[in-house]
Amino acid sequence: MHVLTEVLPGLEGPFDFLDLGFPRFTTRTGRFVAAGDPGMAKGAAASLKLRGPTPAAFVYEEDASEAERSPEDPEADFKGHEEFGGELARISAVSGPELFSAAIYLIKTLHERNVTSDGKWIYTRLRTPSVDALRELVADDTRRALEVRTTALRDTQSSANEVLVDGNVIGEVFFARISP
């Protein structure tokens, strides 16, 4: 989720809506570049759209290199700290920079418990009107309570989930399941 911690803080704004989509899986390294032409988003592995008085758009430009797999488990920091209750999952203390990695882990684990663990649940989209709040949160090391709540589920194939920080909704995250 480097785009939130590396691209977003550098933008001037103000923005009143953020839409970060991952329509296609990629294992290649790359970077987010400004998308001058809306057509650039077509076929891109990821795109970031910001609406407001001065809209901004970025697409993930892949290079030829395969991303190196970290020998460390990226979810290791969160495993065992989660609590579940019905359609909810929470971790009591998460810092801003790890907020969305933790949210993704919680939603994936919640779906594996409540829906099915067949196949693979993947994150596809983040939407939020709370862009300023999000920008401040991801740049802040203060540890806060993180909660995710599934609000819609379609045929065990896709879902919508609210992400709450200290009880306040800061965004909506969508997941899809890739069948085995």
Partner 1 sequence: MTEQAGQSLDDASLVATISELAAATTGRANLQIDRGTDLIEAEILDSLDWSVFLLDLEKRYEVTIPDEEVESRNLQVVGNLVDFIRNAK
Alpha-carbon gap, residue 76 to 99, rounded angstroms: 14
Query: Rule CB under 8 A: is residue 160 a binding residue for partner 1?
Result: yes
Q: Which of 167, 150, 143 is nearest to 84 (CA)?
A: 150
Half-sphere exposure of 110 (CA within 13 A, CB side): 29
Query: Rule CB under 8 A: is residue 31 a binding residue for partner 1?
Result: no
Considering the complex, state which of residue 20 and residue 94 has its C-beta at the smaller distance from partner 1: 20
Among 92, 116, 117, 151, binds partner 1 (CB under 8 A): 151
Among 1, 5, 19, 133, binds partner 1 (CB under 8 A): 19
Can you spell out the DSSP letters for 28-63? EEEEEEE-SSGGGGTT-S-EEEEESSS-EEEEEEEE
Copy the structure tokens of residue 96: 């801003």
Considering the complex, state which of residue 12 and residue 155 has its C-beta at the smaller distance from partner 1: 155
Give the shortest CB-18-to-partner 1 separation in angstroms: 10
Residues that bind partner 1 in the complex, under the rule CB under 8 A: 17, 19, 21, 23, 49, 51, 124-125, 151-152, 154-155, 157-160, 174, 176
